[in-house]
Structure 1
Amino acid sequence: MSSTVEVAADRPAPAAAAWLHGVVRDAEPATLAAIVGMDGAPVRAVSAAGLVAVVSTAPLNEYGEQPLRRNLEDLAWLERAARAHHAVVEALARRGPVVPARLATVHTNDDRVAGSLTARRAELVATLDRLTGRGEWGVKGYLVPGAATASAEAAGAGGVGTAYLRRRRAQLTAREERQQVASAAADAVHAALCELAVAGRRHAPQDRRLSGASTPMVLNGAYLVDLAELSRFTELVGSLSGRHAGLHLELTGPWPAYSFVAERPEPALTVQEQR
């Protein structure tokens, strides 16, 4: 889980920092007043360079450098934080394009937030322009269970043990073949969806414990779709599902465009001195 923490050097630490949720072109005060942030209070705006960063007040006893390092190792805390952060980003995305911040992007103060907006203005404006009138949709593909694979081969001279081994070998072979066919079908589905979408990305398939599905996931795609093409995209997903009987396709969304916001190469936890 990536995060960014900035701490001040050679100056007293403030009581609270600013947890960045995302960047938008503008935000009405009434809109922000209705969105609950990380501390249970409404989120607020930091404006600079013609852009608005939406932030939560982040008490340093929980979101400071050392507490945050510890909390990121606590799965229960991490899940709560991720849900709260995503809820803010999702609320912003319902009102227009938003550049989502990575989880646990914490700035020392509002001046640092404003400085980041100014420094990254060209990149952020280009991203907002690219996301305008578009949404991220997910398509997950699951392997459809095949027919029984037990071999009808009768036991030969080798006896019952040999027959069992033959059946097991046939089952494993059939399973591998189904997975290969499903993998090829997932490639074809992704390629077809990318032709209609503005952009597409394949994420690693989710483990069944995370997806909650009873069968393996072989496609975990994200697609940036023009709103004007959404009905065609939805129809295409249905058509592809019928064309590839070995796959069950599931359309999800719309989501904030996490998959189509470029991340700068940074380590998992970056401590930057304020100069």
Structure 2
Amino acid sequence: MSDLLTYAYAVVRDTEGLRQATELLRGVAGTQVHLVGADGDEPALVVSRVPAEDFREQALKQHLEDLDWLEAVARAHDGVIAALAERTTVLPFRLATVYLDDRRAREVLETGRTAFAERLALLAGHVEWGVKIYAEPSAVAETPAAPAAPAGELSPGRAYLRRRRQQRNVRDTAYRAAQEAAERVAAAGRRHAVDRVRHRVQQGLLTEAREATEATEAREATEASDRADVGGENVVNDAYLVLLTRCDDFLADVTDAADGVEGVRVEITGPWAPYSFAMPSEASYGTEQGAPP
């Protein structure tokens, strides 16, 4: 049994000088990156050979509980993707996509060659922007609807119920504001984006990073590790596919869309390689089944 597995980062369209540039990159675990199956203008797979002891199924399950490990892998993965995206169109693979060896990776490339080529053509000249909306009840001023008895005149039980009612009113106000902001932002995004993907909302850094390996991509894990706990509840987590020539207008309109909405924070990240749009939802090119235990 080999001590190494083939870690796949992305499918790319081979361009002049890409092979040489790729070989200068270092990926996950500091391993040298190389191309598999490159042939002229045909799609190629970007891979490196990683320690099997860290990426076999059981080891990987344990590592998914380790935020530091996830952060290191996500940053290395995204670093390779970002470097490639500066030179060519990229179809990023999910974090920790591994195959038994380069031969098996080449077979996957050959099987999906037509789909890969079509997707590369579709995404050429586009980037991804992430848009998250947070409800922040703490930013909403408490404004009682009508005069009420001073708290000192209330029994402890009634005072407690009043506080709870006020907190609930503030929370409801923030969520209504978030819904309004979400509608405005979606309308602004549609004016400039060619596609949108709605991801699950995020809850906690470790959960975010783990879900990124299971459902979305390395950019989500990278964002999770970058973000401190700044408060607020994530209520929208969308990705937009935007032509490079429309990015400035997209950013301006999305930023303006939620201006003046109290109790809401809009976070825009990017530009990213098109992680969320790399494959149609029905396609699956994930971690190989039957990899070494």
What range describes the TM-score normalised by the shorter chain of this pair? 0.7 to 0.9
> Which whole-Å CA distance do the structure 1 matches of 2:260 and 2:154 have between them?
43
> Deviations 1:194-241 (Å, cap 9, x if unpaired)?
232011122223236555322223322210001111111011123203
- The structure that has the greater radius of gyration is 1
Correspondence for 1:204: 200
> Which whole-Å CA distance do the structure 2 matches of 1:42 and 1:195 have between them?
41
Correspondence for 1:36: 26
- After TM superposition, the structure 1 stretch with the greater mean CA deviation from structure 2, 187-196 or 66-75, is 66-75
**1:113 is the counterpart of 2:97:** no
Tell me the SS of whatever aligns to 2:191.
helix
> Which whole-Å CA distance do the structure 2 matches of 1:160 and 1:14 have between them?
73
Tell me the SS of whatever aligns to 2:21.
helix
Tell me the SS of whatever aligns to 2:182.
helix
Name the TM-score, length of structure 2 as normaliser. Answer: 0.77
- After TM superposition, the structure 1 stretch with the greater mean CA deviation from structure 2, 62-71 or 123-132, is 62-71
CA gap of 1:166–1:77, structure 2 versus 1, over 3 A, is closer
Percent identity at matched positions? 36
Aligned residues: 262
**1:159 is the counterpart of 2:177:** no
Paired letter, 1:38: V
Tell me the SS of whatever aligns to 2:149.
coil
CA gap of 1:77–1:238, structure 2 versus 1, over 3 A, is closer
**1:225 is the counterpart of 2:215:** no
Correspondence for 1:55: 47
CA gap of 1:39–1:273, structure 2 versus 1, over 3 A, is closer
Correspondence for 1:16: 4
> Which whole-Å CA distance do the structure 1 matches of 2:197 and 2:181 have between them?
16
- After TM superposition, the structure 1 stretch with the greater mean CA deviation from structure 2, 63-72 or 265-274, is 265-274
Would you say the 8 A contact 1:90–1:255 is kept in 2? yes
**1:101 is the counterpart of 2:93:** yes
Of 166, 179, 184, the match for 1:170: 166
**1:241 is the counterpart of 2:258:** yes
Tell me the SS of whatever aligns to 2:142.
coil
> Which whole-Å CA distance do the structure 1 matches of 2:285 and 2:97 have between them?
12
Give 5+ residue unaligned stretches, structure 1.
1-12
- After TM superposition, the structure 1 stretch with the greater mean CA deviation from structure 2, 53-62 or 211-220, is 211-220
Tell me the SS of whatever aligns to 2:7.
strand
Paired letter, 2:51: P
Would you say the 8 A contact 1:149–1:171 is kept in 2? no
CA gap of 1:154–1:106, structure 2 versus 1, over 3 A, is same
Would you say the 8 A contact 2:57–2:291 is kept in 1? no
CA gap of 1:169–1:273, structure 2 versus 1, over 3 A, is closer
> Which whole-Å CA distance do the structure 2 matches of 1:52 and 1:268 have between them?
16
Paired letter, 2:141: A
Paired letter, 1:242: D
> Which whole-Å CA distance do the structure 1 matches of 2:63 and 2:174 have between them?
42
> Deviations 1:135-163 (Å, cap 9, x if unpaired)?
0011222335111346751149x834324
Paired letter, 1:240: A
Correspondence for 1:187: 183
